[in-house]
Structure 1
Amino acid sequence: MNSILSKHDLTTQELQILSSEMEKRKKSSGTAWLLWIFLGGVGAHRYYLGKTGTAILMTLTLGCLGIWTLIDLFLLSGMIRNTNAEIERQIIEEIRVFRNAQKNDKAL
């Protein structure tokens, strides 16, 4: 619901830009799951999703000897969803900043 509210004031052109940028920047669930399967013990899926701090901890502890890796089995889908929602929020913010900069240029 928050995503819909943040998009309500975007023009059709801005929504197209948002869609295009999301396709470029979003994280693939397939890639994240493959990283978890093959390199989950060293936190590769967390590096991929931008969770560098916890990824380093996983690397140093080998996923707490596999326990943390197993827990991520249940958390990974939510982490992917949250990461992509954050990427979308950042793009929307960039679009708004650009729109405001254009308005300021026209006002001058």
Structure 2
Amino acid sequence: MALSTQQQILIEQRVTNESKSVGAAYLLWFFLWFFSAHRFYLGRPGSAVLQILSFFIVIGFVWVIIDAFLIPGMVQQQKDEVRRRLSSDALINSAT
């Protein structure tokens, strides 16, 4: 059973409303990199704690630089998760 166009539009609106901002993630990365605030913001507390702990052995600084390139992908992944959740909810609700 496929979603109607109206359901798809509503899902995309909710994805836009619930998704994280790439700009906010970059601001957190730039100003609060030593707290791994961008990773906490993007819902990745496990890797944020690992990143904070790794700062003590210099790897963390390299990881922060790599995150500059990974942030857009992390935001897209979060949007995809929201989209998947909303689509399955819509399919379940339309089936009942």
TM-score band (shorter)?
0.7 to 0.9
CA RMSD of aligned residues (A): 2.0
The TM-score normalised by the length of structure 2 is: 0.82
Query: What stretches of structure 2 of length at least 5 have no aligned partner?
Result: none
Moved over 2 A (4+): 59-65
Q: Which runs of 5+ in 1 are unaligned?
A: 1-7, 103-108
The yes-or-no answer on 1:58 pairing with 2:51 is: yes
Moved more, 10-19 or 27-36: 10-19
2:8 corresponding residue in structure 1? 15
- Structure of higher CA gyration radius: 1
TM normalised by structure 1 equals 0.74
Map of 1:4 onto structure 2? none
Structure 2 residue 66 is the aligned partner of structure 1 residue 38 = no
Query: 1:98 maps to what in 2?
Result: 93
What percentage of residue pairs aligned between the two structures are identical? 33
Contact 1:18 1:92 survives alignment (8 Å): yes
| Equivalent of residue 74 in structure 1, options 69, 72, 90 | 69
The superposition leaves residues 55-86 of structure 1 with CA deviations (integer Å, 9 ceiling, x where unpaired) of 12223334844121111112122111222112
The count of aligned residue pairs is 94
